[in-house]
């Protein structure tokens, strides 16, 4: 795949993240926006840990912006997956004590749907 396409993916992910940040702020104020922003380093550490511990995959060198061996676009995607999962459980009215479990299931399902791409 031409390297320019990786750059395009990174630009699109950044645009989607900005739109997600706007949505987060409009629907939940500062708290939801901070949840989204704080999920970025979590996604980065999650991917870096997975690569380091299991060593079962590596990202293509075509990505322009990487921290360690993880493209920033992947960390942004994880942040959007996590906060989308939290938003879904909130909207569905799942009780607070069960919401983390529902969030985890939603996040795994969203991740699996994206892994095929």
Pairing between β-strand 66-67 and β-strand 70-71 as defined by DSSP bridges? antiparallel
pLDDT of the residue at 117: 58
pLDDT of the residue at 33: 97
pLDDT of the residue at 18: 98
Contacts of residue 87, defined as CB under 8 A and 6 or more positions apart, other chains included, come to 27, 28, 32
Instruction: Please tell me whether residue 16 adopts helix, strand or coil conformation.
Output: helix
pLDDT tens track, the chain, 117 positions = 789 999 999 999 999 999 999 999 999 999 999 999 999 999 999 999 999 999 888 899 999 999 999 999 999 999 999 999 999 999 999 999 999 999 999 999 999 988 765
**Could you list the residue range(s) of the whole structural domain that residue 17 is in?**
3-115
């Amino acid at each position: 795949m031409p390297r320019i396409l990786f750059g395009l993916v990174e630009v699109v992910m950044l645009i989607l993240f900005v739109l997600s940040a706007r949505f987060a702020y409009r629907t939940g104020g500062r708290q939801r926006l901070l949840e989204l922003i704080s999920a970025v380093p979590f996604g980065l550490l999650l991917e870096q840990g997975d690569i380091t511990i299991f060593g079962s995959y590596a990202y293509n060198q075509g990505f322009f912006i990487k921290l360690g061996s993880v493209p920033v676009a992947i960390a942004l995607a994880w942040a959007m997956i996590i906060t989308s999962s939290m938003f879904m459980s909130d909207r569905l009215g799942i009780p607070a004590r069960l919401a983390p479990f529902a969030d985890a299931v939603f996040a795994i399902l969203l991740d699996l749907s994206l892994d095929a791409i």
